[in-house]
Structure 1
Amino acid sequence: MTASRNKPAELRIDIGVCTFRRPELADALRSLAALEVRPDWRVRIIVADNDVTPSARELVARLEPEMPFPVHYVHCPEANISIARNACLDAGAGDMLAFIDDDETASPQWLAELVAMAATSGADAVLGPVEARYLAGAPRWMREGDFHSTLPVWVRGEIRTGYTCNVLLRRSSPRVAGRRFSLARGRSGGEDTEYFTRLHAAGGRIAYAPEAWVREIVPPGRARLSWLARRRFRAGQTHGHLLAGQGPAAAARNMALAGAKAGYCFLAAALSAFSAARRNRYALRGIMHVGVVGGLAGVRELQQYGGTAPEQGAGIGT
């Protein structure tokens, strides 16, 4: 047997980073530069700049000499996060495509853990956890309850939707190939919830790599109950709009169920007044169910992208 036959086939992996006016992008890219990768992997980084002007171009060019991987910069001059995500999909040329947010840093084993789970599970998509790190000024109840970390939701033993702040997609999968993020949700958010919900509905499998950690510092603008409430309400709206597609009878049942859940959560919040973390967790869950009712009723979703502040930019996620 020749040496070439003994050589393992190369695995081509793209890493997509959507960005909007965030200096934290520098830390994100430096964390990717420190990734532990196998010699038979060919890693490339795609930076999709979602600003009207190419505001991240200079930062990317300045850091590119430090990167051990090629960096491909693409300007998406439209304040719509789905356009940036789709630009990463379109620019991807590898066997797999990972996504990480521009305000996150990856652990050195992040990519290896995602790839290992993809190999062992055969899943179409693999999610990893996002660990929130709070600054000193964050409320105590928020730190104790860890309201900003992101983990998958399991329903009857499976994951039925996902997020783009930490995920690996198998580009060769027929459930992934040709699938795009909804432009209609590119300003409201929820585009990744819809993407993975439809992937699962098409027969796609979503796995979880619990050691594929990325970390995110919670800025003061997000360390507020009002920000969490807005985010939960919008998430509920997205879920409600997706449920509305099941038909009028199912929508009526789901609306009654969501209303009942909201009432239960608000009552539980009132009974939990002694614990700020517990009270606010129930209250936020109730707000999410109110959002579901709104989504089922056709209420227009809140806009989270397209503003001038980084809080409304690419890294906000779902």
Structure 2
Amino acid sequence: MTATRVETLPFTLIDIAVCTFRRPALEQTLRSLAAIEVPENCSVRIIIADNDGVPSASDLVDALRSELPFAIDYVHCPAANISIARNACLDHSRGELVAFIDDDEIAAPEWLVRLTERMSETGADVVLGPVQATYATPAPQWMRRADIHSTRPVWVGGEIKTGYTCNVLMRLTSAALAGRRFSLSLGKTGGEDTEFFTLAKQAGARIEFAAEAWVFEPVTAGRATFGWLAKRRYRMGQTHGRLIAGRAQGARRIVQVGLAGAKFVVCAAASAITVFSPSRSNSYRLRAVLHAGVISGLAGVREIEQYGLAEVQSR
């Protein structure tokens, strides 16, 4: 198979990092990467970081090597801590740029080109792309209508303050990113990417968005439930609250707890008012859960674990 080349940034090597943990969908992810367009004057290498206790993805990766137009660097980095896998990708990277994509996502052919074009246009250190959820038949109609599983950045005051690893391109030579690693203490709870990009932003990293750099994420039956979404939103709130707590002490923290509490009440009330519109009502309920998590994080409650065997069962 021959990769298509499109003129864009003059970088020499781009590493595409994929962290995996017992996920058969990795095959579809790698096959989609085989078909991506490559920026002119660039070469691409793929890093697979297997986070299982045993090298369970090794046979699949070896079977696909001959079908991919890119070299694959397989790294076994146990166990069940996503930060270990993410850091392994950074440690094994040899390129100026590293792109992360999840092991259950499908990259559009122009994905990498769109990310690099945006980085070239803006001089950004980090470029995020959109993740579009694709729903199977069992997903409730309200969930499809709200498109609740899709991922986009959040702008605050016209700026993106943090990011995510499910669709991102990073310039590792940036002063704000050089040597930065994901927190091992958050490797089982999640939120390690939120913290990583929040701290990078505070260190001066510029974060931009490439609206056409699409990846697609199938929503499995285990994730197409309100309970799964609520648990995830609560943990996201905990991470946000903990990051705020690091900058707000004493009376300032109390103010933040009060603000999160007020948002919780407003969202809970909005959920009740919109009860006859399930997509709106459930969206407000999830926002209320998020703010409850913020209060928990501000109070220093330990974040719930989401990675490992329990996460595998939800796939």
Corresponding residue of 1:101: 102
Q: Which residue of 2 aligns with 1:138?
A: 139
Sequence identity of aligned pairs in percent? 57
Find out whether 1:270 has 2:272 as its counterpart. Answer: yes
Q: Distance in 2 between matches of 1:35 and 1:92?
A: 20
User: Residue 183 of structure 2 contacts residue 196 of structure 2 at CA under 8 Å; is this kept in 1?
Assistant: yes
Aligned to 1:81: 82
CA distance in 1, matches of 2:18, 2:34: 13
CA RMSD of aligned residues (A): 1.2
1:288 partnered with 2:279? no
Determine if contact 1:306/1:312 at 8 Å carries over to the other structure: no
Using the TM superposition, give the Cα deviation of residue 203 of structure 1 relative to its aligned residue in structure 2, in angstroms.
1.0
Q: 1:269 to 1:224 in 2, by over 3 A?
A: same
After TM superposition, the score normalised by the length of structure 1 is 0.94
Tell me how far apart the structure 1 counterparts of residues 260 and 311 of structure 2 sit (CA, whole Å): 33
The residue matched to 2:304 in structure 1 has which SS? coil
| 8 Å Cα contact 2:222-2:314 kept in structure 1 | no
**Does residue 182 of structure 2 align to residue 219 of structure 1?**
no
Unpaired runs of 5+ residues, structure 1, are: 1-7, 314-318
Matches within 5 A, 1:26-175: 26-175=27-176
Distance 1:126 1:242 in 2: 22
1: CA distance, partners of 2:58 / 2:216: 24
Q: Could you tell me which amino acid in structure 2 is paired with residue 77 of structure 1?
A: P
CA distance in 1, matches of 2:257, 2:243: 12
- Give the Å deviation of 1:95: 1.2
Report the Cα distance in structure 1 between the residues aligned to 2:280 and 2:179, rounded to whole angstroms. Answer: 42
Paired position in structure 1 for 2:263: 261
- Pick from 235, 249, 252: which aligns with 1:250? 252
C-alpha distance in structure 1 between counterparts of 2:17 and 2:312, whole Å: 18
Number of residue equivalences: 306
- Which piece of structure 1 moves more, 74-83 or 300-309? 300-309
SS in structure 1 at match of 2:208: strand
Measure, in 1, the Cα distance between the counterparts of 2:160 and 2:123: 14
Tell me which stretches of 4 or more aligned residues in structure 1 moved more than 3 Å: none
Post-superposition offset of 1:79? 1.1
Find the residue that maps to 1:221 and give its secondary structure.
Answer: helix
Contact 1:47 1:71 survives alignment (8 Å): yes
Question: Contact 1:304 / 1:312 at 8 angstroms: preserved in 2?
Answer: no
Bigger relative contact order (CA 8 A; separation at least 6) = 1
- Secondary structure of the equivalent of 1:102? coil
Aligned-pair distance for 1:9?
Answer: 5.3
CA distance in 1, matches of 2:10, 2:123: 18
**Superposition deviation, residue 84 in structure 1:** 0.1
Does the aligned pair in 2 maintain the 1:19–1:102 contact within 8 Å? yes
| Separation (CA, whole Å) in 2 of partners of 1:109 and 1:177 | 27
**1:136-168, Cα deviation, whole Å (9 max, x unpaired):** 110010001100000000000000001000000
Supply the distance in 1 between the matched residues of 2:30 and 2:223 (Cα, whole angstroms): 22
Structure 2 residues without counterparts, runs of 5 or longer: 1-8
